[in-house]
Amino acid sequence: MTLPDKLTKIINKIPKEHKTLRKLIEKNYQVLDLDELKTIDFKKKETITDLYITIVTKILSTNSEALELLKNLS
C-alpha cells in the first residue's frame, strides 16, 4: 500500500518511540483530518496523549456501541 505524501510527512514527524501512534494514523488516515495533524507538535507528551484519545474516538465513532463501551471503561 502506498501512502499519500502528506501522510508520510506527518508520520515522519512523530518520534519513533510512538510506534503505536504512527501505526494508528497510518491504518486509519481516511477518517482523520490530515491538515489538522500537520499542525500538531508531536514533541509534547500531553499532545500525544490527547491525540491518542482523538484518534481512537474518531475510529470508533462509526461504531456507537464500541464508543459507548470505551467511555464506560475510561
Print the domain residue range for 14.
5-73
**Amino acid making up residue 55:** I
- Looking at residue 35, its pLDDT comes to 93
- Looking at residue 1, its pLDDT comes to 66
Looking at the structure of the chain, the number of domains it has is 1
Q: Which stretches of the chain score pLDDT less than 70?
A: 1
Q: Are 38 and 6 in contact (CB under 8 A)?
A: yes
Instruction: Look up the pTM and report it.
Output: 0.77
Q: Are 71 and 64 in contact (CB under 8 A)?
A: no
